[in-house]
């Protein structure tokens, strides 16, 4: 895992049955443009496949695109699956997340939460912040 925050590795994923992938591809591109290495797992992943890929790829952060409304179930399952593998990789989620869900998601271990239309610099900053906080 990278601790100097200069060349981060981020895995981005779509968990569950959410087939909307345009946003996650835009996020992957803007992270790459910011000098971050990105691995995209594709659509219809399970929490277990995301966790396995995160560990196998030795990533610094996992980013989940959540547009289906299943964020309260699936995002904590990804955190649990990662921790079950003996690592604590921070998970950042972006998408349609009501403000009323933020505190519960944070309590479940989600490092950062970004809403729809978050500016590129905010997305990059959230990923870098999550990685930096995990390294502490």
Q: What is the pLDDT along the chain (136 residues), one digit of tens a residue?
A: 554 445 899 999 999 998 889 989 999 999 999 999 999 999 999 999 999 999 999 999 999 999 888 999 999 999 999 999 999 999 999 999 999 999 999 999 999 999 988 999 999 999 999 999 998 8
Instruction: Collect all residues with Cβ–Cβ distance below 8 Å to 124 and sequence separation of at least 6.
Output: 30, 31, 34, 36
**Is residue 41 within 8 Å of residue 53, measured between CB atoms?**
yes
**Which CATH superfamily, name and number, covers 9-131?**
Cobalamin-binding domain (3.40.50.280)
Category of 25 on φ-ψ map: left (φ > 0), alpha (ψ -120 to 50) or beta: alpha
Domain boundaries in the chain? 9-131
pTM of the model: 0.93
Q: In this structure, is the dihedral angle defined by the CA atoms of residues 52, 46, 21 and 102, taken in order, positive or negative?
A: negative
């Amino acid at each position: 895992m990278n601790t100097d925050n200069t060349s981060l590795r981020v895995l981005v994923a779509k968990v569950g049955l959410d087939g909307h992938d345009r946003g996650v591809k835009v996020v992957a591109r803007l992270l790459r443009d910011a000098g971050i290495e990105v691995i995209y797992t594709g659509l219809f992943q399970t929490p277990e496949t995301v966790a396995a890929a995160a560990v196998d790829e030795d990533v610094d952060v996992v980013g989940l695109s959540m547009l289906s409304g299943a964020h309260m179930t699936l995002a904590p399952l990804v955190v649990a699956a990662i921790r079950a593998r003996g690592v604590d990789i921070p998970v950042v989620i972006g998408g349609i997340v009501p403000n009323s869900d933020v505190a519960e998601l944070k309590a479940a271990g989600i490092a950062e939460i970004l809403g729809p239309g978050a500016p590129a610099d905010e997305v990059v900053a959230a990923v870098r912040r999550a990685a930096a906080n995990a390294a502490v």
